[in-house]
Structure 1
Amino acid sequence: MSYAGFLAALRAEGLTVVEVKTNGKSPASHNRNSKGPFGPVHGVLLHHTVTKGSANTVETCRKGYEGLPGPLCHGVITKDGRVHVVGYGRANHAGLGDDDVLQAVINEKPIPADNEANTDGNRHFYGFECENLGDNKDPWPAAQVDAMVRAATALLRAHGWNKDGKEAISVIAHAEWQPGKVDPRGPGYPGHAGIRARVAERLKHPASWSADAPSKPSTPQTPPKEDGMPSAKEIAEAVMAYKIDDPRTSGTKYVEVKDVLWWAGADSAQANTKVKDLEKQVKNLTDLVTQLTKTKEK
């Protein structure tokens, strides 16, 4: 995947991406490629930083520190949910890990316990360092966890990993890769399996999907009629067919309600016609009187 494709995948998943330059240059050229290969890439590795403060965290991951030069990951996910891209290519984040774990990721099979450190992880994994003290007390904000899920999903989606819709094996925690590591951990972190479950759910939807988005309202359905209860239509038909005394014959005949209503409407229409005829006659007489008056004045 190209650097441009990497950024596009993250942004398509709804993430706010910040590119952090080194010596005025794009993160695309900031890497450890001179120290070893990058690729083939098979998955995403999540870490916690054991740092405090977003600016300090991003800068540490960009430049590294004595004995471990940067970049220390590809993206830093701060507590506000933003992804700060600090490098692209080989990065010092995964270190040596278990070859059985890597094989499980490649085969998309359940992750075994890590008990060896014999395989170069920097070559095979994208890395996201996530701002947290790592003391198992510092809480993980929901926005940050959501960004972790989206970042992992973006790359799984772009590579076509875990298409079967089951557990998203292609995203693992540092604790599952290298013996002795414990990250990520802490209050609010849903657990490694929990992260994978959320990623798997996102993969079932378009990249623009949000778990908290309101669902499309379903088409209203007519509630079923209770046993023994007539419908509104049946009641109306029964009323219209009900027979009452014929008002024209002083009760000597019976007629249906609908006929009486029709007569009332017909009588009303006939009355309206007569009124209009009378109005026309009055107007004609008025015009005639006016004309006669003018003739007399002359």
Structure 2
Amino acid sequence: MATIPWLVDVLRAAGVQVVVEGDWLNRMRPGSFDPIGVLWHHTASTSSASNPHPALGICINGRSDLPGPLCQALVDYNGVFHVISAGRCNHAGVSGGSGPIPAGDGNTLMIGWEIDYNGVNQEMTAAQYNASLAATAAVLTRLGRDSSYARGHRETSTTGKIDPSFIDLNVMRADVAARMAGGGTAWSSTVDNTTSGRFTASANWGVSSYSSQRYGADYRYADPVAASDVAWYRFNVPATANYRVEAWWPANSGYNSAAPYIVATSTGNQTVRVDQRATGGQWRILGTFTLPAGDANRVGVSRWSNATGLVVADAVRLTRV
């Protein structure tokens, strides 16, 4: 049976932080293993800064109904790769085929990353996303495959798997391709509420540093009203293209459950409503939009919400994809 004893060296060479979990070279399931691609999962466990890898033990040892190891590596909340196995793992089940990955035994065909987040009211952190990109690009390069050989479990599953949730897999593959082509130097820009000349809001928006989940020194807040009164984030977009739009907010039970973010796209404004009571302290993807080139207000937070609770404006990030 083939193994991938090069995995740790390849990950570290790509700048991925690695923790080796015990005898990873000899921890594996019986059966064939001749991988041609990478499969992305989420663990369904809730990770956090204080508990960054709650599913690690299960991924190593398995469950009563499925013996471990359950992946080649677990990606924790901070983007650290915990390498578990150099051989076959019980992570993929039967592959129904997706892209260039054929139908067949997914555990033979693919190397699995279990990204440790719950996938219900929690998405992968920016650290998990970026580490997964770097690791996937490095491993596919080692296998001699292109980014199309990276798949999500929901794409190959024959049993209705939904993982990994809250991610556009085509965008993630495009980001892997960018890494493979030139080190992932796609344009990206972040504007915080304190970024000079890049954030504007009326005097109705207060300033707070109450939540430790804030991005930077503080954030802005306002009561919801039946009027727009937008807090705007200004970006100098380099070219008309597709951009991933992400927002950061501190979560609190007293904040707004339907806070409206406005994205000024090439075809007009689009509104995305988010629940600012939950999943704070991390980048949350609002979507991928075509934005026009130029220096202008591109993303805003409006006060026009029918929900109760304060509307928060903290930070926004654009990344060309």
Shift in CA distance, 210/28, structure 1 to aligned 2, threshold 3 Å: farther
Cα RMSD (Å)? 2.2
In structure 2, what is the Cα distance between the partners aligned to 1:87 and 1:157?
A: 19
* Number of the residue aligned with 1:290: none
Find the residue that maps to 1:193 and give its secondary structure. helix
In structure 1, what is the Cα distance between the partners aligned to 2:186 and 2:76?
A: 21
* Number of the residue aligned with 1:198: 175
In structure 2, what is the Cα distance between the partners aligned to 1:139 and 1:204?
A: 27
Shift in CA distance, 75/37, structure 1 to aligned 2, threshold 3 Å: same
* Number of the residue aligned with 2:131: 147
**Equivalent residues in 2 for 1:49-88 (5 A)?**
49-53=43-47, 54-88=52-86
Report the alpha carbon displacement of residue 151 of structure 1 after superposing the two structures with TM. 1.3
**Equivalent residues in 2 for 1:132-281 (5 A)?**
132-135=117-120, 137-162=121-146, 168-179=147-158, 180-186=160-166, 189=167, 191-206=168-183
In structure 1, what is the Cα distance between the partners aligned to 2:133 and 2:94?
A: 24
Shift in CA distance, 55/48, structure 1 to aligned 2, threshold 3 Å: closer
* Residue 10, structure 1, aligned to residue 16, structure 2: no
Aligned residues: 183
| Larger fraction in strand | 2
Report the alpha carbon displacement of residue 211 of structure 1 after superposing the two structures with TM. 5.2
* Number of the residue aligned with 2:111: 126
Which fold has the larger relative contact order, with Cα–Cα distance below 8 Å and residues 6 or more apart in sequence?
Answer: 1
In structure 2, what is the Cα distance between the partners aligned to 1:157 and 1:129?
A: 20
| Larger fraction in helix | 1
Note the alpha carbon deviations across 1:155-182, whole angstroms, 9 max, x for none.
11112212xxxxx211000000013111
Unaligned runs of at least 5 residues, structure 2: 190-321
* Number of the residue aligned with 1:30: 27
Report the alpha carbon displacement of residue 212 of structure 1 after superposing the two structures with TM. 7.2
Shift in CA distance, 138/144, structure 1 to aligned 2, threshold 3 Å: same
Find the residue that maps to 1:18 and give its secondary structure. strand
Report the alpha carbon displacement of residue 2 of structure 1 after superposing the two structures with TM. 5.6
Task: Could you list the structure 1 runs, at least 4 aligned residues long, displaced by more than 4 angstroms after superposition.
Answer: 209-214
Find the residue that maps to 2:55 and give its secondary structure. helix
Find the residue that maps to 1:81 and give its secondary structure. coil
Report the alpha carbon displacement of residue 7 of structure 1 after superposing the two structures with TM. 1.0
Note the alpha carbon deviations across 1:227-269, whole angstroms, 9 max, x for none.
xxxxxxxxxxxxxxxxxxxxxxxxxxxxxxxxxxxxxxxxxxx
Report the alpha carbon displacement of residue 101 of structure 1 after superposing the two structures with TM. 2.5
Shift in CA distance, 203/60, structure 1 to aligned 2, threshold 3 Å: same
Find the residue that maps to 1:126 and give its secondary structure. strand
Find the residue that maps to 2:177 and give its secondary structure. helix
1:183 partner letter: D
* Number of the residue aligned with 1:247: none
**Highest Rg: 1 or 2?**
1
TM-score, structure 1 length as denominator? 0.57
2:180 partner letter: L
Shift in CA distance, 213/9, structure 1 to aligned 2, threshold 3 Å: farther
In structure 1, what is the Cα distance between the partners aligned to 2:68 and 2:54?
A: 14
Note the alpha carbon deviations across 1:174-206, whole angstroms, 9 max, x for none.
0000131111012xx3x1101100000001125
In structure 2, what is the Cα distance between the partners aligned to 1:147 and 1:9?
A: 13
